Structure 1
């Protein structure tokens, strides 16, 4: 059969790779939603919300690549996520923690989950050379 008439077969993705995809996408989406809710309604730095909510834009840019399993996105997101982890640690241990302690702990947990998902995803894909 000529090459222009061949139909492409769906690529079978190993379950472990698919699991890291959903953990990464879900934790990144969770960080986006947490960041917006935290800065606009739950415990904003200024009453009525602040421009600090824009901190979620880099994660919004990562969401499509995480969903589509783009290796490069997983790599740069594994570096970016440490900014959110650091913010969570600073806000969990800083002055005037009060109501934001549970939010900071959730940000830390989501950041660790996102980093773990990205690292495992890259490792598994490189080991098995899957698309």
Structure 2
């Protein structure tokens, strides 16, 4: 049997500079490749965290992308495991990023672990979770 794994997610953005800053500074992704003027797009950029990649791209020339909506079909959020959730939340608060609250709480328990959610500039919701297992 062949080995399979998630290679990347592709995220489109109208707020390219803010999104790059968020993924690199807030979530510690590194820029692997940045391609300006990529097939009619202002930018197509590869970001890496461990063995996981995000392909971050702008819309095609003169295209305004529709706003993300968590009540639509398709990807609702993606999740990153963090070693120390409380420490990570404090670091992100210092960077002035805002969290999505649940019952007024930043960190909350869901079944066998704790998590929080943060919204990227382009609208992608990222869950940060304390437990590796489901």
TM-score with structure 1 setting the length: 0.30
User: RCO (CA 8 Å, sep 6+): is it higher in 1 or 2?
Assistant: 1
TM-score with structure 2 setting the length: 0.30
Higher helix share: 1
Higher strand share: 2
Structure label with greater radius of gyration: 1
